[in-house]
Amino acid sequence: MTDDIPIREPDQIRQDCARKLRAVQISTHFQAILGCLLGEDWTTPRLVEMVIAPDGQMLGRPEGEPSFKAFLGASEDLLRNIHGVAPVAELDGDEIGYLVG
Q: Is the pTM of this model over 0.85?
A: yes
Tell whether 1 is covered by a domain: no
pLDDT of residue 6: 78
Residue range(s) defining the domain that contains residue 49: 10-100
Tell whether 25 is covered by a domain: yes
Q: What is the mean pLDDT of each run of 10 residues along the chain (101 residues)?
A: 75 97 95 96 94 96 94 96 97 96 89
Rounded CA separation 26/10 (Å):
24
Tell whether 5 is covered by a domain: no
CA distances from 24 to 11, 32, 56, 59, 61 (A): 20, 13, 27, 24, 24
